[in-house]
Amino acid sequence: MSNNKPDEAAIVRKVTGRIIPFVFLLYIVSYLDRANIGYAALQMNKELALSSEAFGFISGIFFIGYFLFEVPSNVMLNKFGARVWIARILVTWGFIAALTAFAQTANQLYILRFFLGVAEAGFFPGIIVYLTFWFRSKELATTVALFTAAIPVSYIIGAPMSTWIMDNISWFNWSGWRWMLFLEGIPAVFLGVACYFFLTDKPEQAKWLKPDEKAWLLEELERDRQSRKNVKRLSVFKTMTNPKVLYLSFIYFVYQCGSLGIGYWMPQIIKSFSESLTHTQIGLIAMLPYIVATAAMILWSRSSDKRDERKLHSAIPLLIAALGMVGAGMLQNPYLATAMICVALS
């Protein structure tokens, strides 16, 4: 090991640059494959004669599969390692997402969306756990925010891309929405293969770190773990029935209802503003709230890290989001309603 003290900031940047862009890309593809059904609905609902209730169930049944297999998936991640298990998640969800393009009935969509949730279960919490292997507590809020910024970015990219495919690709007399689901599902398969070769499970296995960098990082991570007070290790059952876990799960459930509710239904909401809008125009309008949300998410997380404060930085955005959604629902003016959606997603 070198006698010179390692450059802390340089090592953190090196780890961040190696891990965050890649998992960021993975999460973009993840959210794109779960949310693009909202854009598909612009054509799919009419072609398959789907009612609003059927579309709502198609959107929501994903989370039943996701919920049921979330914990088992993370158990498997700990058993097989992040690199192998995250690669498995990507490959299977990519195949199922692509298969969704072949659905001919509502029942087939129910089944495929359920198994898409099963396939993707454990991906997000698995990545969060994976990040704790590489980053100290003081860096986690910003790091997680950089990762989860992929959610709004997936809509920024996915909204115009999905609707453009629907408007412009209809090869072999296949509907645009089918091509969109197929073409956006396949990248997950290739990224799963890339994940197996690119990710490193833990710092001690990182050949891309110099020996002194590796030693410093391992020492810092161990010191960070030792500094955490009142940390308890619970069984899976005790964890799932812990009042704090249930309380936070309820908060996350409410948050997801609002966030994904907007994501799934916004294309149809925007279409209701004017029948003359093309699908591509709807996609361009739909990405605007997510541009605002991306900037707000990163700035707010940096504020949380800078002040070392979590509770208010979590509660205030939820309150603002609730007010934005109420405002969007009450306003008739499409411009003001869109502005309120921007507020809600921020």
What is this structure's pTM? 0.78
pLDDT at 253 over 80: no
Residue 14's pLDDT is: 92
Is the Cα torsion angle 253, 254, 256, 260 positive or negative in sign?
A: positive
- Per residue in 55-105, pLDDT tens? 999 988 988 988 888 888 888 888 888 889 999 999 999 999 999 999 999
For residue 179 the two structure tokens come to 């091509």
pLDDT at 236 over 70: no
Q: Which domains does the chain have, with CATH numbers?
A: 8-223+239-345 (1.20.1250.20)
CA distances from 30 to 36, 81, 151 (A): 10, 20, 9
pLDDT at 3 over 70: no
pLDDT at 2 over 60: no
pLDDT at 8 over 80: yes
Helices 311-330 and 243-273: crossing angle in degrees, nearest 10, is 30
Phi, psi (rounded to 5 degrees) for 61:
-65, -25
Query: Which amino acid makes up residue 296?
Result: A
How far, rounded to the nearest angstrom, does the alpha carbon of residue 18 sit from its chain's CA centroid? Answer: 19
- Per residue in 283-312, pLDDT tens? 888 888 888 877 887 788 778 877 878 788
Q: Could you tell me the pLDDT band of residue 1, with boundaries at 50, 70 and 90?
A: very low
Q: In 10 A of CB 277, how many CB atoms?
A: 17
Give the best-scoring range by mean pLDDT among 113-127, 133-147, 242-256, 276-290: 113-127
DSSP for 227-254?
H--S-----HHHHHH-HHHHHHHHHHHH
Query: CA dihedral defined by 233, 222, 140, 249, rounded to 10 degrees?
Result: 0
Do residues 120 and 104 make contact, with C-beta atoms less than 8 angstroms apart? no
Give the best-scoring range by mean pLDDT among 148-152, 244-248, 280-284: 280-284
Residue 4's pLDDT is: 65
Dmax over Cα atoms in the chain, in whole Å? 71
Residue 329 CB contacts under 8 Å (≥ 6 apart), including other chains: none
pLDDT at 145 over 90: no
How far is Cα 102 from Cα 105, in angstroms, rounded to an integer? Answer: 10
Residue 229's pLDDT is: 61
**Counting every residue, how long is the chain?**
346
DSSP for 184-234?
HHHHHHHHHHHHHHH--SSGGG-TTS-HHHHHHHHHHHHHHHHH--S----
**Position of tokens 């960070």?**
224
Q: What is the C-alpha R_g of the chain?
A: 21
Between 182 and 142, residue with greater pLDDT? 182
Residue 44's pLDDT is: 95
- Residue 23: helix, strand or coil by DSSP? helix
